[in-house]
Amino acid sequence: MRFDELNKNNYMLFAIKFYDNPQSLTEEDFNEDLKRLKYVKRLLKRYKNNGILKTHLILNHLIILFNVFGDAAVPLLFYNLEEELWPSIKSFLIFLGRMPDYPKTKITNIVEDKYCSSQLENI
């Protein structure tokens, strides 16, 4: 199956196809790893709404997501996050060296969040 665009019909199949966690034995393990996308979303929303940025916690979740989903974590993240959170996640992806250079899409034109970037530089 080709995944030209993630949508609600192919999202789960996409996640399953790219999931690679040798220690995962059950569907519950998979769902726990997938929940990290929601955790990142919640943390970024908290930052956007209250100015509370939990940089290390977001980085921990992102690193685990990349460990189990590989490069597929990027489309999974952007699919799950509202566009208003994209500048923040882009700052984290650039910091981790995971922001793709191609294909040229609307995510490559997003300006990164200056506060997130400055906090990441201090790590």
Chain centroid to CA 63: how far? 9
Q: Give 103-107 contacts, CB < 8 A, sequence gap 24+.
A: 107/78
Q: What distance in Å separates the CA atoms of residue 67 and residue 24, rounded to the nearest whole number? A: 12
Contacts of 13 (CB under 8 A, 6+ apart): 1
* pTM given for the model: 0.89
pLDDT tens, residue by residue, 87-119: 999 999 999 999 887 655 666 678 899 999 999
Residue 16 phi, psi (nearest 5): -65, -45
Nearest in space to 74 (alpha carbons), one of 102, 54, 45, 48? 102
Query: What tokens appear for 106 in the block?
Result: 């609307």
Q: What confidence score (pLDDT) does residue 99 get?
A: 86
pLDDT tens, residue by residue, 22-79: 888 889 999 999 999 999 999 999 999 999 999 999 999 999 999 999 999 999 999 9
